[in-house]
Amino acid sequence: MLFSMVETSNRRNAVRGALALFSSLLGLILIIPIAALGLPFWIAALGTRFIARLLEPQIVAWQSIVDYDPTLGWKPKANVDVHCCTEEVFHVTTGADGWRGRLGVAESSIVVLGDSFAFGYGVSDVEMFAGLVPNARVKAIGAPGYNLVQELLVLRQLSSELAGKLVVWFVFLGNDLGDNLYPYMQIYRTPFLRRVDHTGNWKIETSHLSPKTRPYRFGKWHEQITREMLADLCSSTYLSERAYSACEFLIREAQQLCQRQRALLCVLTIPDPAQLSPEGRARLQACSSDPGSFDAALPDRWISEICSKLGVVFVAGQDHLRRDDFRQLDRHWTDKGHQRIAELLEELYRCHGKQAQAADDLNSCTRQTTTGG
Amino acid sequence: MPITLPSPRRAQLFAFWLIQSACAAFLAMIVCAALGVRRYLLLGIILGFLMALCGFWRPRAIASLYRVWNRCAERYAVVAKRLLLKICYYVVFTVVGCAGSSLRRSAKSQSLWVPRTTLPTNAYASQYDVALPGISHWSINYLGWAYKSGNIWAWGLLPFLMLIAALDTQESKTYPVSIYTLF
């Protein structure tokens, strides 16, 4: 009985298999004209990929040019010479200290601190802003994904070499302010700020740092998450209240450090491309938790107030950059954007020079007066 | 291999234009040969060379053409996929369903839902069955599943599945912004 059931089942399977084979052959014959129509597209897609692979150098992801750092979470590797890719392939080199370019901090006149914008992510060394300032030697210190807490920690590490220099701190409004409060950056653990009390005191937390990474599979949601964060930072929300309080703490710390080292601190905010067009602003407003209080210029206004309170030079990047200075999909600068930043740095350096000259004049005048008196 | 072109970086644009120039040269050779033109080989090569040169001279024009080509490829993929699924449904499933397969065209008001039991945790990534150890390509796993589960007839679906995968475009992978899953 059982044997006959098995036999029937096998026979049915064999019949089904034969019918499936026959029908799929029939189906495939019907498909031939459809596939023939698509042949030019397949040839173009296949050929383009094949030839492009021959034309392009080997590309590495930014994650492979950084290493675990027990203080900062991660840091670019020393003496890297690779090609990375955003919308276009670009050449990246780092010095012995791991930062972009071969110039040392001691030899520089401007130190630029920041995240991937300071790292020059998206352009080759020759197109990067650091090499385009004619009258100053610029050392760019930054790494992809850094928040302001990490940048302050770097500044502390370099404090002994900052004397007399202009320190320009890039603050990317797209994610830096929110990232300061969060212990992870994609797969990495990152230093962040913890509120100590409600009087504006914060503590830098690094105890969770370790080489262990976490799984992160939300790359496709990343844009949406950061857009919502920026929208809330442009509105009167709990997030914005905490973020600007944390930001004030960080700028105050940096300012005190620079003052001790007789360096001049300048905060340069970098707008998110969405803030630079009416459509982008409308999209942001739609994401806000409180659309009624939305104001795309709010982050600049907040940071400007903080800087003026602390006596820090403030420059709103929104006044100098345009939408087409940024790439279309990736949010980094184009080579034109780098050129514009280089011009801005040149201008800042000139003002810094005049200020230093005025301070020297004032000092010598004071000395003369004291000697004379 | 997707039917659409990759993201348009400089190398991809030049590669695309080289392919177009080569195809144009090849077509010109065939036409010239058919018309009895002497030195059709040389004419084809000159045409291809000139075309490639024009692209290098005006890379922006290639970018526009690249976009148009990609849009056409996407449209084609959408239509072709729909036709493919229809052929698969009306030709293969109808015939196999007649032989008693659970995967068949449904009669009106008849549900084709099949009660399933919980899968082992290592099958979560590939819900149809546990992947074969050491084999990463889905097609081999699919064939293995069909054999093990006594559904050898499903091998006949493989060419259709492969064609559907080849017609995949990036566009079909985007999700609506407002999508929200409650869990």
- Residue, of B117 and A368, whose pLDDT is higher: B117
Q: Which amino acid is at A171?
A: V
Q: Mark yes or no for CB contact A31/B166 under 8 Å.
A: no
Q: Which site among B17, B78, B96, B151 would you substitute to test the A interface, given the most A Cβ atoms closer than 10 Å to its Cβ?
A: B96
Q: Is the pLDDT of residue A188 over 90?
A: yes
Predicted local distance difference test score (pLDDT) of residue B107: 64
**Mean pLDDT for the stretch of residues A108-136:** 94
Predicted local distance difference test score (pLDDT) of residue B99: 64
Identify the band that residue A198 occupies on the pLDDT scale cut at 50, 70 and 90: confident
CA pair distance B128, B117, nearest whole angstrom: 12
Q: Is the pLDDT of residue A370 over 50?
A: no
Q: Mark yes or no for CB contact A37/B72 under 8 Å.
A: no
The residue to which tokens 């929104």 are assigned: A318
Q: Which residues of B touch A30 (CB under 8 A)?
A: 87, 91
Predicted local distance difference test score (pLDDT) of residue B182: 46
Provide the mean pLDDT of chain A. 89
Q: Is the pLDDT of residue B172 over 70?
A: no
Predicted local distance difference test score (pLDDT) of residue A44: 93
**Mean pLDDT for the stretch of residues B83-106:** 76
Question: What residues contact B8, with CB distance under 8 A and at least 6 apart?
Answer: B63, B66, B67
Reported as a single tens digit per residue, the pLDDT across A33-65 is: 988 999 999 999 999 999 999 999 999 988 899
Reported as a single tens digit per residue, the pLDDT across A200-214 is: 789 999 999 999 988
Q: Is the pLDDT of residue B108 over 90?
A: no
**Mean pLDDT for the stretch of residues B91-104:** 70
Q: In this complex, which of B4, B87, B154 lies closest to A27 when CB atoms are compared?
A: B87
Q: Which amino acid is at B39?
A: R
Identify the band that residue A357 occupies on the pLDDT scale cut at 50, 70 and 90: low
The lowest-confidence range among A76-85, A150-159, B158-167 is B158-167
A94 close to A79: Cβ distance less than 8 angstroms:
yes
* Percent of chain A clearing pLDDT 70 (strictly above): 91
Predicted local distance difference test score (pLDDT) of residue A246: 95
Reported as a single tens digit per residue, the pLDDT across B10-29 is: 899 999 999 999 999 999 99
Q: Is the pLDDT of residue B100 over 70?
A: no
Q: Which site among A12, A51, A218 would you substitute to test the B interface, given the most B Cβ atoms closer than 10 Å to its Cβ?
A: A51
Please tell me which residue of chain A has the smallest CA distance to B3.
A42
A189 close to A209: Cβ distance less than 8 angstroms:
yes
Predicted local distance difference test score (pLDDT) of residue B7: 85
* Percent of chain A clearing pLDDT 90 (strictly above): 74
Question: What residues contact B118, with CB distance under 8 A and at least 6 apart?
Answer: none
Q: Mark yes or no for CB contact A45/B154 under 8 Å.
A: no
Predicted local distance difference test score (pLDDT) of residue A219: 64
CA pair distance A314, A303, nearest whole angstrom: 8
Predicted local distance difference test score (pLDDT) of residue B135: 63
**Mean pLDDT for the stretch of residues A171-180:** 95
Domain ranges of chain B: 10-75
Predicted local distance difference test score (pLDDT) of residue A220: 65
Predicted local distance difference test score (pLDDT) of residue A371: 41
A96 close to A107: Cβ distance less than 8 angstroms:
no
Q: Decide the pairing of beta strands A313-316 and A188-189.
A: unpaired
A-facing residues of B in 47-86 (CB < 8 A) are 69, 72-73, 76-77, 80, 83-84
A107: which 2 tokens? 């030899």
Picking from B167, B135, B132, the residue whose alpha carbon sits closest to that of residue B146 is B132
Q: Mark yes or no for CB contact A31/B156 under 8 Å.
A: no
Predicted local distance difference test score (pLDDT) of residue B126: 60
Q: Is the pLDDT of residue A103 over 70?
A: yes
Reported as a single tens digit per residue, the pLDDT across B114-153 is: 777 777 776 666 655 555 566 667 788 888 888 877 777 7
Out of A33-47, A359-373, B84-98, the most confident range is A33-47
Question: What residues contact B115, with CB distance under 8 A and at least 6 apart?
Answer: none
* Percent of chain B clearing pLDDT 70 (strictly above): 76
Reported as a single tens digit per residue, the pLDDT across B73-83 is: 999 999 999 99
Predicted local distance difference test score (pLDDT) of residue B6: 87
Q: Which site among B87, B147, B174, B179 would you substitute to test the A interface, given the most A Cβ atoms closer than 10 Å to its Cβ?
A: B87
- Strand partners for A314: A267
Reported as a single tens digit per residue, the pLDDT across A153-171 is: 999 999 999 999 999 999 9
Predicted local distance difference test score (pLDDT) of residue B125: 63
Predicted local distance difference test score (pLDDT) of residue B183: 46
Q: Which residues of B touch A42 (CB under 8 A)?
A: 1, 3, 166
Identify the band that residue A360 occupies on the pLDDT scale cut at 50, 70 and 90: low
Please tell me which residue of chain A has the smallest CA distance to B68.
A41
Q: Mark yes or no for CB contact A12/B100 under 8 Å.
A: yes
Q: Determine contact: B88 vs chain A, CB below 8 A.
A: yes
